C-alpha cells in the first residue's frame, strides 16, 4: 500500500489535504494514485492514517481518514551508526542499508584510510540526508533518521556511553557481536562504528584501545564496507 509523509497540519476535520507541489506530483504523476484508492499517510508524530483518496486536482488532493494507529515500524532501542566516508556508490548504499535496518542517527567521519579525497566529501550532509530520507520512505518507517555532517571520532564518541560503542574491526577479534552486546545499556543510544574500504589505520586502532572501546569481529571473512555495515547492524539488532 502506498504511503506518504505529511505534516500534522495537513489534517482537518478527519480529512487530509495535500497541496505540497512535490508530494502532489509524486502521488499523482509518479505513482498514478487515483480517486477511490486507499493509501497510508504518516505524520511527524509517527501516526499512520489509512485514508481513501476522495478527490485529485492540479492544486490539491483530499483524502478521508478511515482509521489511524501508532506506527510500530521502529526498533525498540536507539541504534546509531558511524560510517567512515566511502566512495560515492558505496556510501549511498551504506546509508540506505543503515536506514532500512532502523538506524536513528547516522554519523560520518573521515578516516585515515579513506579512499576519497577530503575536499570531495565536504558539505555532503544534505545529500546524504536526502538519500536517507528516500530509503526511510521505502521501508515505511515513521521515525525520521538524522544524517550528520563529518565530525571527528572524539566529537561523536562524546555523545555516547563508552560501553555502548562497538567498533567493527577486521584485524582484531576481542569480542563477537553476541559477546559485545551482553553489557550494553539498552536505555541509552548504541553506536556501531565501521571503517572505510581500506579498514581503520593502526593509529585509529590505538585510539580505540586507549579509549577502552570494544573491538568487534564479524568473523574470518573480509566484507566490502556496505556489506559489513549491513551484517554488523543486523548482528546488533539480533543480540540487543
Q: Do residues 29 and 137 both lie within one domain?
A: no
pLDDT (average), residues 155-163: 97
Q: Do residues 65 and 83 both lie within one domain?
A: no
Predicted local confidence at residue 211, as pLDDT: 95
Q: Do residues 13 and 87 both lie within one domain?
A: no
Find cell 495535500 and name the residue: 18
Q: Do residues 102 and 129 both lie within one domain?
A: yes
Question: In the chain, what percentage of residues exceed pLDDT 70?
Answer: 99
Q: Check pLDDT > 80 for residue 185.
A: yes
Q: Check pLDDT > 80 for residue 2.
A: no
Cα distance between residue 110 and residue 116, in whole Å: 9
Predicted local confidence at residue 174, as pLDDT: 82
End-to-end CA distance of the chain: 31
Domain containing 119 equals 79-239
Q: Check pLDDT > 80 for residue 172.
A: no
CATH value at residue 14: 2.40.240.20
- Please, what is the average pLDDT of the chain? 92
31-52: pLDDT as tens digits: 899 999 999 999 989 999 999 9
Q: Do residues 8 and 107 both lie within one domain?
A: no
Q: Do residues 180 and 114 both lie within one domain?
A: yes
Q: Do residues 49 and 110 both lie within one domain?
A: no
3-state secondary structure string, the chain?
Answer: CCEEECCHHHEECCEEEECCHHHHHHHHHHCCCCCCCEEEEECCCCEEEEEEEEEECCCCEEEEEEEEEECCCCCCCCEEEEEECCCHHHHHHHHHHHHHCCCCEEEEECCCCCCCCHHHCCCCHHHHHHHHHHHHHHCCCCCCCEEEEEECHHHHHCCCCHHHEEEECCCCCCECHHHHCCCCCCCCCEEEEECCCCCCCHHHHHHHHHCCCEEECCCCCCCCHHHHHHHHHHHHHHHC
Q: Do residues 83 and 199 both lie within one domain?
A: yes
Cα distance between residue 139 and residue 78, in whole Å: 17
Pull the grid cell for residue 80.
Answer: 546509531
Structurally, how many domains does the chain consist of?
A: 2
Q: Do residues 117 and 158 both lie within one domain?
A: yes
Q: Do residues 148 and 56 both lie within one domain?
A: no
Q: Check pLDDT > 80 for residue 171.
A: no
**Of the candidates 22, 51, 70, which is a domain's last residue?**
70
Predicted local confidence at residue 203, as pLDDT: 96
**Of the candidates 44, 70, 96, which is a domain's last residue?**
70
Which region holds residue 66: left if phi is over 0, alpha if psi is between -120 and 50, else beta? alpha
User: Which residues make Cβ contacts (< 8 Å) with residue 84, sequence separation at least 6?
Assistant: 108, 109, 110, 111, 114, 194, 195, 196, 200, 225
Q: Check pLDDT > 90 for residue 29.
A: no
Count the Cβ atoms, other than its own, within 10 Å of residue 155.
12
**Of the candidates 48, 70, 92, which is a domain's last residue?**
70
60-100: pLDDT as tens digits: 999 999 999 998 888 999 999 999 999 999 999 999 999 99
Beta bridge partners of 84: 109
Q: Do residues 55 and 90 both lie within one domain?
A: no
Amino acid at each position: 500500500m502506498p504511503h506518504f509523509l505529511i505534516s500534522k497540519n495537513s489534517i482537518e476535520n478527519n480529512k487530509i489535504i495535500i497541496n505540497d507541489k512535490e508530494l502532489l506530483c509524486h502521488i499523482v504523476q509518479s505513482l498514478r494514485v487515483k480517486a477511490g484508492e486507499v493509501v497510508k499517510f504518516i505524520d511527524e508524530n509517527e501516526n499512520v492514517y489509512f485514508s481513501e483518496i476522495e478527490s485529485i486536482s492540479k492544486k490539491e488532493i483530499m483524502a478521508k481518514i478511515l482509521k489511524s494507529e501508532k506506527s510500530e515500524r521502529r526498533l525498540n532501542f536507539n541504534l546509531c551508526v558511524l560510517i567512515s566516508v566511502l566512495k560515492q556508490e558505496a556510501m549511498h548504499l551504506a546509508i540506505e542499508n543503515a536506514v532500512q535496518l532502523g538506524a536513528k542517527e547516522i554519523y560520518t567521519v573521515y578516516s585515515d584510510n579513506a579512499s576519497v579525497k577530503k575536499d570531495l566529501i565536504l558539505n555532503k550532509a544534505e545529500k546524504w540526508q536526502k538519500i536517507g530520507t528516500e530509503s526511510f520512505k521505502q521501508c515505511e518507517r515513521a521515525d525520521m533518521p538524522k544524517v550528520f555532517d563529518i565530525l571527528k571520532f572524539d566529537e561523536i564518541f562524546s555523545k555516547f556511553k563508552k560501553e555502548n560503542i562497538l567498533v567493527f574491526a577486521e584485524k582484531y577479534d576481542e569480542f563477537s557481536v553476541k559477546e559485545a552486546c551482553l553489557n550494553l545499556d539498552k536505555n541509552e543510544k548504541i553506536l556501531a562504528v565501521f571503517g572505510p574500504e581500506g579498514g581503520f589505520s593502526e593509529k585509529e586502532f590505538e585510539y580505540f584501545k586507549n579509549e577502552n572501546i570494544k573491538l568487534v569481529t564479524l568473523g574470518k571473512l573480509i566484507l566490502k564496507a556496505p556489506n559489513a555495515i549491513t551484517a554488523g547492524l543486523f548482528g546488533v539488532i539480533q543480540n540487543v
